[in-house]
Amino acid sequence: MYHVPLFKFAHMLGDYRFLSMYNSAVRSQWYSYPDLKMDQEAQLRKMISFSYENVPYYHKLFKGLDLRPEDIKTLEDLEKLPVLNKEIIKENWEDLKPAGLDRMNYYSIATGGSTGTPFPFRLLKHDRFMSGVMLYRGWGYGGYELGDKMVFLAGTSLDVGANSRIVNKAHEITRNIRRLSSFDMSDDDMYRYVNTIRSFKPKSIRAYPSSIDTFASFVEENNIDLPEIPVVYTTAEKLFPNMRAHISDVFDCEVYDAYGLNDGGVGAYECSEHNGLHIDTERSIMEVVDDNGSQMSDGTGDILATSLHNYAMPFIRYSTGDMGHIIEDECGCGRGSKLLKEVIGRSVDMFITPEGKQVHGYFLMYIFWEHDAGIKKYQVIQKQIDKILIKLVVDDDFDQNNLSLIRNVIESKSPSWHVEFEFVDSIEVTKAGKYKFVISELR
């Protein structure tokens, strides 16, 4: 049990307010939504006032729209402002630097997103610690307590392989975790992961869905016995129903999904009711909007993020590039926060037919759920407007007749699409260690 005091001490060294923030967040998860919204809007007014007075980009924006800070008082008032995106940020980088930046304690971070192209941004140190608070509370929906043993199976977006060995080891000891890399998933690597889990005996695993699903297949195919793992937390990729069922079955565990971004600060976590993901309110504002930028209370739209504490780089109505399905239902767990039924996926993961029709990339995944016999891994790539390439890793049970079935379903969306298949030994992960099922190479 010495890990718990060490865990808390290490976090309080980084920010002495960590424990008080965490305890406050644990209490606020049970607040009613009107109370959560009232606190959210109080922070929003502070952020809007700061941005108007200290950030040239926002001062010019407000002036151009004939708005004053007092015009943005509520979440609904955000609709008066345009959407911010990565292109606008890049074009206005200098104007997005707040006055007094040199006196702020912040991190310079880059995230690759879906494209792998680095997107730099600044993150206030206090805001980053708030992200940890939200994360630990979110895991708590699945039973996590501070200092519990956890294994990570992921890539750089979860800090696996992102630091030196000495720094990684220090993090592992103080946080009571072990890091396993989704970059390295050969049989020899996974046997090592089995040994790590057996010796460490974690209470949970946090992983990319594709990585833990691959590991589950390895455990299943090799009849490997593992110590009890009550919980698997997934994040950073879409968790599909077949993945959830497979992971739960192999490890005899509960699977809890999550969604979060540091650029913008939005986060949402699944509870034991599994009715959706509870949207955090303390660190940011999440909007789900239609094509006109109007807020939705129920339905599928683009996810926008407004940071409430990142004064080093205020994100206001920032387009995350993700699409989500928000619902009006209240969760039976008693938490008052709004629910994100699911994250649909990156809005850029759209295929375009030669006829000009959009086809969401995830349509193709459902095909492989129906015709997956003998297919260990797959990746669908739109190389050109009329060309679809499908990479397949197959085993001895694969039936070549399935290729015609898959081709026919795809061509039902567009007879002008030419579908090619390529049999490969493995499929590469992204620079962040994630596995992309669907890739559009069209601009």
Question: Does the pLDDT at position 356 exceed 50?
Answer: yes
pLDDT, position 438: 81
pLDDT band per the 50, 70, 90 thresholds, residue 158: low
Per the listing, tokens 């015709």 go with 371
Tallying the residues shown for the chain, one arrives at: 443
pLDDT, position 167: 72
pLDDT, position 115: 40
Question: Does the pLDDT at position 160 exceed 60?
Answer: no
- Using CA atoms, how far apart are residues 50 and 99, in angstroms rounded to an integer? 10
pLDDT, position 421: 94
- Using CA atoms, how far apart are residues 431 and 188, in angstroms rounded to an integer? 21
Q: How many Cβ atoms are within 10 Å of 144's Cβ, its own excluded?
A: 20
Q: Which of 100-114, 140-154, 245-259, 342-356 has the lowest mean pLDDT?
A: 342-356
Q: Are 266 and 277 in contact (CB under 8 A)?
A: no
Show the domains of the chain with their CATH numbers.
1-345 (3.40.50.12780), 350-440 (3.30.300.30)
**Cα→Cα distances 317→75, 230, 313, Å:** 11, 38, 13
- For residue range 14-45, list pLDDT tens digits in order: 888 999 999 999 999 999 999 999 999 999 99
pLDDT band per the 50, 70, 90 thresholds, residue 116: very low
Which of 405, 303, 438, 413 has the alpha carbon at shortest distance from 359?
413
SS3 140: helix
DSSP assignment, residue 204? E
Q: Are 313 and 121 in contact (CB under 8 A)?
A: yes
Share of the chain above pLDDT 90, in %: 61
Phi-psi group of 256: left, alpha or beta (phi > 0 → left; psi -120 to 50 → alpha; rest → beta): beta
Per-residue tokens: 194: 């089995």
Q: Which of 164-173, 190-199, 202-211 has the lowest mean pLDDT?
A: 164-173
Surface-to-core class of residue 324, CB atoms within 10 Å of its CB (0-12 exposed, 13-18 middle, 19+ buried): buried
**Cα→Cα distances 340→16, 204, 210, 275, 280, Å:** 32, 23, 21, 9, 10
Beta bridge partners of 154: 181
Amino acid at 305: A
Find the mean pLDDT for residues 112-124: 69
The dihedral built from the CA positions of residue 356, 357, 360 and 366, taken in this order, carries a sign that is negative
- For residue range 266-281, list pLDDT tens digits in order: 999 999 999 999 999 9
Beta bridge partners of 136: none
Q: Which of 59-73, 85-99, 232-246 has the lowest mean pLDDT?
A: 232-246
Find the mean pLDDT for residues 137-157: 90
Which of 223, 336, 362, 209 has the alpha carbon at shortest distance from 280?
336
Q: How does the average pLDDT of the chain come out, rounded?
A: 89
Surface-to-core class of residue 241, CB atoms within 10 Å of its CB (0-12 exposed, 13-18 middle, 19+ buried): exposed
**Cα→Cα distances 66→59, 60, 193, 293, 316, Å:** 11, 10, 58, 19, 17
Surface-to-core class of residue 226, CB atoms within 10 Å of its CB (0-12 exposed, 13-18 middle, 19+ buried): middle
**Cα→Cα distances 185→63, 101, 201, 231, 428, Å:** 53, 42, 20, 21, 11
Q: How many Cβ atoms are within 10 Å of 346's Cβ, its own excluded?
A: 20
